[in-house]
Structure 1
Amino acid sequence: MMTETVVHVTTLEQWKSVLDVWFEQGYVWFYGNKGYLEDIFENGGRFLFLDDYITWSASNHNSEPFIEYSEFMEQQKEDNKMAKYYVTQEQLDLIKELKEKLFPLHALLTKSNRYENIKVELSGQDEKALLRYLGGDTSIKFKVKEQLYRLWRIDSAGDKVYMTFSFGTPTYIPNENYAFTAPLEEIKKWETPAWSLEKVD
């Protein structure tokens, strides 16, 4: 699978700021957590790879096209000019349908329940963004927030534990915040009769 982005960093501060950007987009380390893992940088980690999850290398081992930290941050500035709002696939479909209507606000405000689901879970800012988007504001983009899952089981002491990875080997941890999370297709690769699947809120 082709890696989407490879960034070369030279300082720990650069390492952390790249990770901040990726964590904000919902990506996690292969092991399933969101720590800075400074020891990896100290031990020579200089290339950060983003695909379905974050990995690292001391060198550009696959000769992937990579960008320098400064170029990566410049790209982030460009991307940040457009406000992004994350919704469900159903909500996105309804928003696109509304956008194509001659009078989208009229359709939204009528008593029909057709568009009721758009408003579910939208905060005040999101609702304002929706109205601006329907009014023609091109600096707003709606994207589907990918649903993530994790695996859990009850251990021998009767406690709920979550699957995680330690140096690439599956293990368990009691804290759900450090559980291995992934899209359904990826998480199902690790599902066994011992583990139960649950959605990450």
Structure 2
Amino acid sequence: MTETVVHVETIEQWKSVLDVWFAQGYEWFSSKGYREDYFRNGSRQLRLNHINKITFSGSDLYSENDCIEYADFMAQQEKTMTKETYYVTQAQLDLITDLKKFNWPLTRLVNSEDIFRPLNNGLEMVEEKAILRYLGGDETIEFKVKEQLYRLWRVDDGDNKVYMKFSLGTPTYTLDADYAFKALREEIEKHKTVYWEIEKSD
């Protein structure tokens, strides 16, 4: 992480910047609380350094070019907090993260089937577009791993693998895994009997 230095002009702005950083889990390097005394003693620059600790500049050491003005900082935070979130598999998230590290991620994506096929597997059109926007530099998008869903299966008398589903609230079965009842592990456990096995759903 690079350093962030915010220039403030009032004690309210000082506290607002600290509130943002405290909420994100950052702490003072060697202090607690708002430390209004730093502000009263003349500091107008709050700094989040490269080791994720909050410090201050007592003599306002940083130039205007090295500082973010309070209004710009808060606008940045608001933009960050209103990110569009899309859910993908862990494997897809790993591919997206790896692609983002390259200078030309879109070119690498288009030119590599080893990346494109597993990344594209099971995505909806809206998620595909979001990935392209993200790799193109759109910072209002974030990706998170989907919660793992499970389903119940068993082998029937005809030696077919069948999956449990509900029809009008009554448990029944289907040969098609896409139509199986899927839920989080805790919910699936409630429906398991000696006849059914649990497996991860794609």
Q: TM-score range by the shorter chain?
A: 0.3 to 0.5
Structure 2 length as normaliser, TM-score? 0.42
TM-score normalised by the chain length of structure 1? 0.42
Q: Which has the higher contact order (CA 8 A, sep 6+)?
A: 1
